[in-house]
Structures are given as structure tokens and as C-alpha cells.
Amino acid sequence: MRILDRYIIKSFLVNYLLALDVLVGLFIVLDIVVNFDNFTSGASRVDPNASAMSVFLDIADFYGFQILVIFQQVSAAIPLLAAGFTMVRMTRHHELTAMLSSGVSLYRVAAPIVLVSVLFSVLHIVNQELILPHPYVVEKLLRKHNEVNVSSNKSDPVNFLREEDNSLILASRYDPATKTLYDLRIIKRDERGSPIGRIMAASATWKIAEGEVSEAWVMEKAIQVDDRLDADPTKRPTSKERSLLYRTSYTPAQLEILFSKKAVEYLSSARLHELINYSPDATRPMLYKMMHIRVTQPLMNIILLLIGIPFLLTREPNRLMVNIFYCMIVTGVVFAATFVIFQLGNKRVDPLLAAWLPVLLFGPVAAVTLDTIHT
């Protein structure tokens, strides 16, 4: 790596951190202004005599984790903003003029900036796939502004999970700590969806029952009822309360995946793919779109930089501020169009098309704008 490359990279990194601080700081300050009362009420609920310092610590604790999400949201704008800062500084100090006078191509100036931006896109992927999905981080991210010190409720209801035999599973809540379903109801159905029977139990725990070799749901105080149409209501067989073994494809691990829907945007791509397999048809397009966007979003971050950076690389220093204005308009339109296209992925628009269309549309635009650089 040449001295020129190191100098440009150092300047770009400084401006990248500056742009990151500005955008993240602005986001946090605005959010604090809107939600400061929630922080104070949350601290007072835990300690009626909460001091200003405890409120400040709650704010630091809350946004210390929210920064991970904010970075994902602003990662598209930061490289372009940092590149603008870098070019303005180099133009102001006549460094860009000196480089051009020595025969350095503008492409040569842009190359280190693009390379470092690609590395930051890799950091975007690492944050999405490894840091955000961590259970401890997810628990912190799901907190509301007034719940910083409130223990989160780990119990979730189970609503109409469909089995392979067309049965439906319901439960008032599931406790992952004890792997127990409470107030379990299993509605047995035939191929047409008509109910043919029920199994009801006060609780069901995932464990190895006595005399068994594999885990299953062990029901306590279970009752079986025959609901077939040809059954005599006065003689419908109903079993007495007893323990019952129920085997199903829904294990505690799979239930955890289903419950992760409330934090689906924080799931890794592997877990998101598993969630798709256990989701109803109505929600699968949205999940497919989200999984594809995990790939196309980092690509669009780079494409946005490639579209904007030709405006910043100019041989006429007096036109730089005008070019920055044009850059803001063009990249703003691209950013807004990308957002709108991403939102089109639903049941009516193929999620694969919605996720990849911005890359197909604006990738060639980036190639054309790069070709306009006068080296």
C-alpha cells in the first residue's frame, strides 16, 4: 500500500467516524427529547427516589445497545457523507489539486475510499449475523424506553400451530425456562379441516418420560374428547384425567424460533430461514423478502457510494459545493426509490424481485456515473 493510499484511508476513516458520531448522536438526541419522560417514569417505577444519575445510566444502558440497530439504519449514508467530508477537506487544502498535477487519476483517489467502504459493508453483515442475533442483545433491544430495568416476560402464548396431521395446537403460555406449555389444547382435524377430537391438559413438559428413550411432551391432567359428527353426544367417550405422552414436530427449539417473530429483524439469516419453514403461507413472502434484503442491502450501500462519488471527484474546485448539492439530490432519490421498492415485496410482488430490483436498476446507473469521471 502506497503512502497516498494510507493518507486517503486515514482521512476517510476519521471522517467516517465523524459522520457516524453525527448521525448516531442526532438520532439519539432526538429520541431522548421525545422519550425522556418515559425514562424518568421507568426509573421511578423501579425506585421512587431515583436520582438524575440513575436516569442517565438507564439512558446509557438503553442506547448502548440501540447503537447496533442505528448503525444498520445509517450505514448506507455514512460512507457517502464521509467521502464528501474527505473531498471537501482535500480540495480546501489543495491536496486534490496537487495529486492531479502529479498525474494521479481520480479513480486512483476513489479506490481506497471504495475499498474501505466495502470493508464497512462486511462489518454491517457481521453485525446483522453475529451480534444482533445474540439472545442477550435481543433481550436488551426489545426493551421499551420505560422498561430498562424491568425484567422481560419470557412467557408467550401458542396460537393455532398446525401439525403435519392437520391438528391445531394452542396454549395460554409457554415457559422456555422449564420447557412447559400451560393450558394446552390440541384440536384433532381430518383432511378437510373438520374437528374430530380434542386433547386438553393443564400442562405439558418437554422431557423423557419414564420408560421412554426420546423426549416428548408429557401431559399432566390430560383429557381426550371425541368430536366426530357420528359420535353420540350423550355417549361421547371422554377419558379421565391422566398423564399422556404427545409426540409432535414442534420441539422447544422450534417454538423459540416461532416466538422470535417479535424480533425477526434481529434474527440471523440461518434462523430466519428456519422461521420460514414453520411460518404460515401468509407471512412467508415478507420473510423471504427480508432474507434477500440481507444480501442486497450491503450491495446497495456500495452502489449508492459509487453513484455519489463521481460528483465529489472534480477537477474544478469551485464546482465542488454545487456538485455536493447535486449528489444529495441524486443519492436521495436513489435511497428513497430503494426504500419504496423494498416495501413492495409482499404477496402480490415476488419478494425476490423486490429485494434485487434496486441492484438491477441502480447497478448500471453506478457504472454510467463512474464513467463520467474526467481523469
Rounded-to-integer distance, Cα 118 and Cα 115, Å: 5
Cell of 250: 414442534
In degrees and rounded to multiples of 5, residue 184 shows phi and psi of: -75, 135
Tens of pLDDT, residue by residue over 91-122, are 888 787 787 778 778 888 888 999 999 999 99
Tens of pLDDT, residue by residue over 29-83, are 999 999 888 888 877 766 777 678 888 888 899 999 999 999 998 888 899 899 8
Average pLDDT, the chain: 83
User: 309, 83 in Cβ contact below 8 A?
Assistant: yes
The domain ranges of the chain are 3-133+282-371, 156-249
Tens of pLDDT, residue by residue over 212-264, are 778 888 988 888 887 776 655 555 555 566 778 888 878 887 777 666 655 77
Tens of pLDDT, residue by residue over 257-295, are 666 655 778 888 888 887 787 776 667 777 888 888 989
Rounded-to-integer distance, Cα 290 and Cα 264, Å: 9
- H helices present in 164-282, as ranges: 252-259, 269-277
pTM for the whole thing? 0.72
